[in-house]
Amino acid sequence: MRMGRFMLYWCCLAGGLSAQDLHFSQFYHHPMHYSPALTGAQEGDVRAMALARSQWESVPVAYRSVAVGADKKVWQQGAHALAIGVLLQGDRAGDAGLSWVQAGFALSVAQRLGARQYAAVGICAAVAQRQFDISALKFGNQWTGDAFDPALPSRETFQQTSGIIPSLGAGLSWRTHSTDYRSRIAAAIGAFHLNRPSVSFREAATAQSLPIRWAGSIQATQRIHSNADAVLFGGAGFMGSARETVVGGGARLWLKPEEAAVRFTLAVRVGDALIPAVQVELGDWTIGLSYDWNRSDFQRATRGYGGLELAAVYQPLPAPPMTTPKSCPVF
């Protein structure tokens, strides 16, 4: 088998067998990717988020991922609430630009269990496309014996260079918080590709179904001082033979009570990288920056360089209720 086709088949097979959906180190800013039951699980009614990640720039297979999403509580009555969300995400890697683009929506129904405790169930549906650019590949038939000539025909054919699949998911979540929201815990699980879709660039008979991606996350913040909170978080994903576990923690320091804070954390992706991160919370905005310092065997190629990641979250908070009534004089 010629080298060009071999390398392409290897990449496609690896993508199909390990079936790694895109991932982010600041997963706590990408909740619907971990469970549709986290749709609408925020203090205010509306939330919008965007993340961008550039990974392994020091090796010739740079991997870039982006995600944007928004969710909103659309109905609340008594102890019940309904929220909807939309999500668009994708990644691109390698000389052939092997890409994965996914667009979908999520819906969750939450039930209040106590004064400040909630449980929710969610579902999601998405359409995904995987494709590559065959013109960017090099084949043995384009080698003249002395040099590579891109004008020569590759004499290689592929049944298709892209494929579109539907994907379904579901999840559960539980969360609780203090009166001022400074102390809180949120935990969730999700399952994606429940319909086991399949996509292949080869003959349909060789197509393999994507394994279900199981995901779970937990976040905890505890007020320890009038101007400081302790932060702990963890996330895990399992998809076929691919595994990912991230755990970390740190502190949030309030520069201006309830209005401005800075958070410093250090996490570890087990068996892969150390992840220092900093985020600034200012009013309705949160901006986060993290960096993966690769410590796995792959550092022989990366020299320790991993991935730079930027996150932005917009979450307008409801105005606090007036505690002291004021009367206006009538003239």
Q: Which two tokens stand for residue 317?
A: 């908070």
- Written as six digits, the tokens of 173 are 């979540």
β-pair type (98-114, 80-93)? antiparallel
| Rounded-to-integer distance, Cα 293 and Cα 288, Å | 17
Q: pLDDT band at 9, cuts 50/70/90?
A: very low
**Mean predicted lDDT score pLDDT of the chain:** 83
Alpha-carbon gap, residue 164 to 143, rounded angstroms: 33
- Residue of 12 and 147 predicted with greater confidence: 147
Q: What is the mean pLDDT of residues 102-127?
A: 95
Structure-block tokens of residue 78? 């008594």
**330 vs 234, residue with greater confidence:** 234
Q: For residues 241 and 281, which has the higher predicted lDDT (pLDDT)?
A: 281
Provide the token pair at 34. 């971990």
Query: What is the distance between the terminal CA atoms of the chain, rounded to a whole angstrom?
Result: 93
pLDDT-based confidence at residue 260 (cuts at 50, 70, 90): very high
Residue 206's SS3 state is: helix
pLDDT, residue 85, reads 98
Residue 110, pLDDT > 60, answer: yes
Q: For residue range 147-187, list pLDDT tens digits in order.
A: 777 777 766 666 666 778 899 999 999 999 998 889 999 99
Q: What is the pLDDT of residues 297-324, one digit of tens each?
A: 655 555 556 789 999 999 997 655 555 5
Query: For position 108, what pLDDT does the model report?
Result: 98
pLDDT of residue 225: 93
pLDDT of residue 18: 38
Average pLDDT of the residues in 33-52: 95
Against a cut of 0.85, is the pTM above it?
no
Burial pattern 206-221, b for ≥16 Cβ within 10 A else e, equals: eeeebbbbebbbbbbb
pLDDT value of residue 56: 64
Q: List pLDDT tens digits, range 49-95.
A: 999 998 766 566 667 899 999 999 999 998 899 999 999 999 877 66
Q: Which residue from 130, 131, 141, 124 is spatially nearest to 165, judged by alpha carbons?
A: 130
pLDDT at 15 over 70: no
Position 202 confidence tier, pLDDT thresholds 50, 70, 90? low
Predicted pLDDT of residue 8: 41
Read off the pLDDT band of 12 (50, 70, 90).
Answer: very low
pLDDT at 57: 60
Chain centroid to CA 238: how far? Answer: 14
